[in-house]
Structure 1
Amino acid sequence: MSTNNRIVILGAGIAGVNAAKTLLDHDYEGKVVLLDMEEKLPYDRPPLSKEYLTGAKDHKGILLHPEEFYQDSRIEMKLGKAVAELQPDKKTVILEDGEKISFDKLLITTGSKLRRLQPLDDQKFDNVFYLKTQKDANRLQDQLSSINHLAIIGAGFIGLEVAASMLAIGKRVTVFEAAKTPLSRVLGEDIGNYIASKHREKGIEIFTDDYITQFMGDSAIHAVETKEGRKIDCDAVLVGIGVSTDGLLVQDKLDFNDGIIVNEFCETSVPDIFAAGDCARWTYPVSGEAIRIEHWDHAMNQGATAAVNMLQPGSKPFTTIPYFWSDQHDLAIQYLGHPTQWDETVMRGTIETDQFTMFYLLNQRVVGALIVNQPANVLPVRRLISQAVFISADQLGDEKVKLKSIIKQATTII
């Protein structure tokens, strides 16, 4: 490939950085321009709610790569740079400072943005926190000494991870969740109740089917009141109510529907422009649904796949089974697949021992699984989902029957 070629990557999260690394690993000889709004070297986000927040890891400990990696002559880093406009017809991006950067191929890995509680933003309380960036984590860290009781809005994975981290460093934590059961939309009622019970056993208050209606305080919140009439004193509030996509940059330029639409090769509706990670919507081959995934493993793999297809068009379809993990107290939680519906669940192991795999089945096929403290099950479960074979529920729930044996028998039957 000509050294005059230039690939521009918008976003230096795990998707963008792994795409850049993949380009170098495949001996791309052109220039890679890596752009990001943040000024710090690219870093890993999962530790922000865990090891970084508690002080177990410092800034150097969460870097995706050491500074030397970006000193490769083929990588041009442009940190602290925001994109103002995308001009697909001219193959150009325009930065907010007016600089124009041309590209031969473009990869968009701009991720997602936090959902915010507008009333809190309007009131500008000093002790309200969100957690998306290292800057967010630093701000919370700086005030930890004055926080004895943290109120968390939202019992999703981020909210519960922060709750576990804060408890570990001696803070009192109360979590408010508007739904009847935490995580039930993703994991079902039984598993949602199980995870909530593990937090309660450790001493974390979780109020479900309730939400905050009033924040009390002037410049800082000192108490909250809920729909059910609960009044809880607190020193700070953390909001963890999920993320959304931002289509402003690509509006009317690329196909967009709660995410940039990409084909199986991660290419958008405009040739030579690709997208990967949280901002991309793609067709999941297991279900045929158009989905958008907001997980580290997905972003890493999709970024690498996009890079390969930019070098060798149409050579590598993206078929990776979605996967994420979450560490909460002594639970190592891993989740595979993307089941939006299921008609049967099968438990392998026991909840009482905190070692089990919950399978989600649809039409006798495994479409997802939640794995708790059984990491050896990840690879065989991934195979079960990707092969989409008919499964015996009795065998699946029988720990005496090895998963590898079930896979082999199912493959033979089909």
Structure 2
Amino acid sequence: MDQRIVIIGGGQAGAALAAKLRALGHKGAMTLICEESTLPYQRPPLSKKYLLGQMDEARLHLRPAEFYAEEDIALIIGVAATAIDREARFVNLSDGRKIPYDQLALTTGTRPRRLPASICGELGGVYPVRTRRHVDIVAPEFRTGARVLIVGGGYIGLEAAAVATLRGLDVTLIELADRILQRVAAPVTSDYFRDLHRGHGVDIRESVGLTRLEGEERVERAVLTNGETVDIDFVLVGVGVAPNQEIAAEAGLETENGVKVDEAGRTSDPLIFAAGDCASFPYEGRLIRLESVQNAIDQAEVAAAAMLGESVSYTPTPWFWSDQYDVKLQIAGLNQGYDHVHVRPGAAGAQSVWYYRAGRLISVDAMNDPRAYMVGKRLIEAGKSPAPEAVADPATDLKTLLKAPA
């Protein structure tokens, strides 16, 4: 309870881990290292309410500055951790300081993947959307009538398209795969969101990639893989993220699509833990990373308990969400490996998609259907798999499915 604990990474997982350690009674010195020049903040609103100007920076903060002072959590802001000396138990910082630790936690998150230099060169007007600084830099580009190219048809790209459209921009979105959301959703969910965006005027082009961007100092046009040229004013890049695992790998820790941890969040060094988007952990016989607020908090809290000597194990019950125009998508479970999907129509254009694998319900996509999401989530958590024909029948009262035996 009196050991020195250092946390590298000031995002959702880092803040949750620090708070949980204090709540569990840890009395020792605690340091939270935040590379960004701001208090730990929430990321989901960045590409939505914050970019729309409906949320200010203070409301992004997970906790006010007073919380960290009251809990005796030393914040190091605007300074990066550059190396871990496992033998001497120090964290080296970019400003030359060395912070000693007895136990260390890595909550380093992810970073956006960039376009290759062969495509964009040094042209201005090409932006990722991941951090508050990214959004602050790109925000002035969101002016009525501006032409934006969005590269990537995942949820980040689609959310950015919705915001841009609401701000009066001319939006073209390209996706190299056969369909938008191909990696994360069934075709029927892709169809739903394709229709939604096209109905709002977004020019969605699938099976189309980016050959190069052209312009003088700033991007002016995009040459696509189908030979077409699109005149544009700026580009948003949403082609996925990569885990920030380099500091762990350089310290000799095991990595595999992230910092490899066990069920308690412990890395290959028993004194070092990891949690959140950067952590690769065992789930149903394989290693996965979950990029979600829920996982960041829950996994961080399990790691905090393990750091204080509790015997704990993290078994996630994943859930996610996405807001696009007036549609709220809520996702329960993980749909990897599904072999059947069943669609349930809802009222006023709502819809839910139920994923099965070998007869087992594993995930639900609910579009403006909070009841389907709630019931689906509870069924998955309880290990119950109702008959698909009952799920797909709009006359079925979903709540009755909860009463069925597992």
- TM bracket (short chain): over 0.9
Question: How far apart in 2 are the matches of 1:119 and 1:130?
Answer: 14
Give matches, 1:383-402, under 5 Å.
383-402=378-397
Contact 2:8 2:33 in 1 (8 A): yes
| TM-superposed deviation, 1:78 | 0.4
Question: How far apart in 1 are the matches of 2:371 and 2:103?
Answer: 39
* Cα-to-partner distance string for 1:72-103 (whole Å, 9 max, x where unaligned): 25200001111121122332211122211111
2:318 to 318, 322, 326: 322
Question: How far apart in 2 are the matches of 1:102 and 1:408?
Answer: 54
Extract structure 1 runs of 4+ deviating beyond 4 A: none
The amino acid across from 2:194 in the alignment is A
The amino acid across from 1:292 in the alignment is R
| TM-superposed deviation, 1:138 | 0.5
Question: How far apart in 2 are the matches of 1:379 and 1:193?
Answer: 23
2:369 equivalent in structure 1: 374
- 1:367–1:182 Cα change, 3 Å: same
| TM-superposed deviation, 1:129 | 0.9
Question: How far apart in 2 are the matches of 1:407 and 1:138?
Answer: 45
| TM-superposed deviation, 1:388 | 2.9
1:298 to 295, 299, 311: 295
Contact 1:114 1:242 in 2 (8 A): yes
The amino acid across from 1:331 in the alignment is V
Q: Does 2:335 align with 1:336?
A: no
Give matches, 1:15-414, under 5 Å.
15-119=13-117, 123-145=121-143, 148-251=146-249, 253-284=252-283, 287-314=284-311, 316-350=312-346, 353-411=348-406
The amino acid across from 2:122 in the alignment is K
Give unpaired runs (5+ residues) of structure 2: none
Question: How far apart in 1 are the matches of 2:252 and 2:376?
Answer: 39
| Number of matched pairs | 405
Give unpaired runs (5+ residues) of structure 1: none
Contact 1:391 1:410 in 2 (8 A): no
Question: How far apart in 2 are the matches of 1:65 and 1:376?
Answer: 31
| TM-superposed deviation, 1:121 | 8.0
Which segment is superposed worse, 20-29 or 217-226? Answer: 20-29
* Cα-to-partner distance string for 1:20-45 (whole Å, 9 max, x where unaligned): 11122223212221001111111111
Question: How far apart in 1 are the matches of 2:208 and 2:106?
Answer: 38
Question: TM-score scaled by structure 2?
Answer: 0.95
The amino acid across from 1:87 in the alignment is D
Please state whether the residue corresponding to 2:172 is helix, strand or coil: strand
The two structures, once aligned, show a CA RMSD in angstroms of 1.8
Contact 2:4 2:30 in 1 (8 A): yes
Question: How far apart in 2 are the matches of 1:189 and 1:121?
Answer: 29
Which segment is superposed worse, 202-211 or 392-401? Answer: 392-401
Question: TM-score scaled by structure 1?
Answer: 0.93
The amino acid across from 1:364 in the alignment is G
* Cα-to-partner distance string for 1:279-337 (whole Å, 9 max, x where unaligned): 101112xx3221111112211221122112212332x3111211111000111001122
The amino acid across from 1:283 in the alignment is P
Please state whether the residue corresponding to 2:335 is helix, strand or coil: coil
* Cα-to-partner distance string for 1:154-184 (whole Å, 9 max, x where unaligned): 1111111011001111111110111111002
Contact 1:262 1:274 in 2 (8 A): yes
Please state whether the residue corresponding to 2:183 is helix, strand or coil: helix
* Cα-to-partner distance string for 1:320-378 (whole Å, 9 max, x where unaligned): 2111110001110011222221111122224x843122110011111111111122333
Contact 2:254 2:268 in 1 (8 A): yes
Question: How far apart in 1 are the matches of 2:220 and 2:146?
Answer: 11
- 1:146–1:397 Cα change, 3 Å: closer
